[in-house]
Structure 1
Amino acid sequence: MKDQAERLRQIMKNKDELNKSISNKAKVLAVTSGKGGVGKTNFALNLAISIKRLGHKVLVLDADLGLANVEILSGTNVKFTIFDFIIGEKSINEIIATGPEGIKLISGGSGLEGLSVMDENNINRLIKELEGLESSTDFIIIDTGAGISGVVTNFVMAADEVIIITTPDPTAVMDAYTMIKTLVNNGYNGRINVVANIVNNKKEAISTFNRLNLVADNFLKIKLNFLGYLERNTAVDNAVKKQIPFLLSNPKSSISKKINVMALKFVESNNDIKDNSFTGRLKKLLVRRGGL
């Protein structure tokens, strides 16, 4: 009886330790799209700022390697990029820049020279460093490249939740479906959210989502989650030109209010228990696929 009681105490202790480790893991959101030009990076950046304002530590990882969209749109002066880490000149902490409202940024860089040295050792080093970031921040928002490349698929597949950005344009909707199909066919089981962007009104947003959701339901047997929509707004164009996130340049606009509502949804659901880590899932994917 004594041995049984001791065993129960050990089980509860292990459970407490597991729950503690789970709660220390960042929630990872992958923002992606089937095609470029749908406002993906703008959404990721402003969502990050909104979550930061709610009292959480946020890191934006620009996984659109070879581009510098996040740093440009945020007006952030970035000294080092992911390529400085890849070639071994800087640690992961040295390439983290501070963006608007105190969010942290890792730039994807503006050149492709680093991709040629992304070998197994560099991948393992990247994963090890990301593990440290995962335990020291609350949210990691990954701004992926558009379309279905190996890099995009791996980062998205490892995320806790995916946010698909689409516009009402038929080609954007079809490309978004192709991205969703790729995720499902590869075994993704996280929540897939959809944001209808650059719409004229709520009716068009719902129609856009319904078209995508109907196809996903009929052919993939899954239900998508309608996260929300952002209407066409000159505040976005003005913010891009000024290199200031629209949440800062026009905080009272309807799109800023909608971003804040979406951010709150993720913060309120951040207590969902995750049974494994982003880096753990990424590591398994890279082993299975043979690298980025």
Structure 2
Amino acid sequence: MKDQAEKLRNIMKNKPNKNNIKLSQDRAQVLAITSGKGGVGKTSFSVNLAISLKRLGYKVLILDADIGLANIEILTGINMKYTIEDLIKSDKNIYDIIEEGPEGIKLISGGSGIHQLSMMDDKNINKLLEEMENLEREMDYIIIDTGAGISNIVLDFVMISDETILITTSDPTSLMDAYTMIKALTTNGYKGKINIVINIVENRREAENIFNKLSKVSQNFLNVNLNYLGYLQRDVLVNKAVKIQQPFLILNPSSNISKKINVMALKLINPVKYNEKKENLGFVQRLKALLFGRDR
């Protein structure tokens, strides 16, 4: 696929304890939260997962890579003053464009600057990489909230992540789009783990049936194994949280949906059933590959 995603890819891990001390390797774990279509709760999941990881003692940053939409701002009630575009085009540094979100999670808005990555000159590329490298050394988790769909820019960011969390629902179009995303990742040689979260379901049985169907077709036709991260039931708390711009994990931490988010966070930091050796390239190294692989 000769697009900017392939270009960003073709150039050029680490658990802290609850006191935020790095125990190994000097780079953040990068999680891409994505979906085949919009309206499946991707951004809400990203924000609440980040808060859950923060409560476990990890330093967490969300990069809002959904171009043109301000969903992170809407869900958190935080006004993002600057974006990556200000980092690229002005004298702002990475810390100038970071906003502090709920319970101390960090937020960066990609804005239109995300779309300009493939058009940057060498000076701007080097500045971006240097700033992101500083950030990568400080954070434990960088969560990329991608746009919905399967555009080139969405694939760019998913392809350079350590793990993907693919959000889907029971809706047939959502499932088809989720499969299409899995196929696109597989076709392009994605090496990370693909985690599946089934959202807006009635109960555990429904969620497991949906996952089993998606897993079976992925194994049979793509020869790829999916990891079942968990499910979230339909809950009026989610709509209430959106209306008052407060993450549901804060609004009602003892709710069933909040507990399920916490369980998924624990699975991510302790993947006892996933022992494959991870590629030891950091986010910035893979970002270099994507940026410098451009045609000159």
TM beyond 0.5: yes
- Say which of 228, 234, 257 aligns to 2:259: 257
**C-alpha distance in structure 2 between counterparts of 1:98 and 1:279, whole Å:** 22
Displacement after TM superposition at 1:265 (Å)? 1.4
Q: What amino acid sits opposite 1:276 in the alignment?
A: L
- Which one is further off, 79-88 or 246-255? 79-88
Q: What amino acid sits opposite 1:63 in the alignment?
A: A
Decide whether aligned partners of structure 1 residues 104 and 113 sit closer, same or farther in structure 2, where only a CA change above 3 A counts. closer
- Which one is further off, 62-71 or 246-255? 62-71
| Higher Cα Rg, which structure | 1
The equivalent of 1:108 in structure 2 is 110
- Say which of 189, 192, 205 aligns to 2:207: 205
The equivalent of 2:8 in structure 1 is none
The equivalent of 1:119 in structure 2 is 120
- CA RMSD of superposed structures (Å): 2.3
Decide whether aligned partners of structure 1 residues 56 and 21 sit closer, same or farther in structure 2, where only a CA change above 3 A counts. closer
Displacement after TM superposition at 1:273 (Å)? 6.0
The equivalent of 1:286 in structure 2 is 291
Residues 203-246 of structure 1: CA distance to partner in whole angstroms, max 9, x if unpaired?
A: 11111111211111111101100000000000000000000000
The equivalent of 1:17 in structure 2 is none
Paired residue secondary structure (1:187): coil
Contiguous gaps of at least 5 residues in structure 1: 1-19
Q: What amino acid sits opposite 2:152 in the alignment?
A: G
The equivalent of 1:135 in structure 2 is 137
Displacement after TM superposition at 1:129 (Å)? 1.5
* 1:238-253 alignment runs, 5 A limit: 238-253=240-255
**C-alpha distance in structure 2 between counterparts of 1:115 and 1:178, whole Å:** 23
Paired residue secondary structure (2:224): coil
Count of aligned residue pairs for this structure pair: 270
* 1:19-30 alignment runs, 5 A limit: 23-30=25-32
- Which one is further off, 82-91 or 249-258? 82-91
Displacement after TM superposition at 1:290 (Å)? 5.0
Higher relative contact order (CA 8 A, sep 6+): 2
Percent of matched pairs sharing the same residue:
59
Displacement after TM superposition at 1:269 (Å)? 4.2
Residues 74-104 of structure 1: CA distance to partner in whole angstroms, max 9, x if unpaired?
A: 1113221222223224222100000000000
Contiguous gaps of at least 5 residues in structure 2: 1-21
Decide whether aligned partners of structure 1 residues 286 and 238 sit closer, same or farther in structure 2, where only a CA change above 3 A counts. same
* 1:1-292 alignment runs, 5 A limit: 23-109=25-111, 112=112, 115=115, 118-121=119-122, 122-269=124-271, 274-288=279-293, 290=295
- Which one is further off, 201-210 or 236-245? 201-210
Displacement after TM superposition at 1:268 (Å)? 2.3
Residues 183-210 of structure 1: CA distance to partner in whole angstroms, max 9, x if unpaired?
A: 1111111100000001111111111111
Decide whether aligned partners of structure 1 residues 153 and 98 sit closer, same or farther in structure 2, where only a CA change above 3 A counts. same
**C-alpha distance in structure 1 between counterparts of 2:125 and 2:175, whole Å:** 33
Q: What is the TM-score when the length of structure 1 is the normalising length?
A: 0.86
Q: What amino acid sits opposite 1:26 in the alignment?
A: A
- Which one is further off, 264-273 or 212-221? 264-273
Paired residue secondary structure (1:94): coil
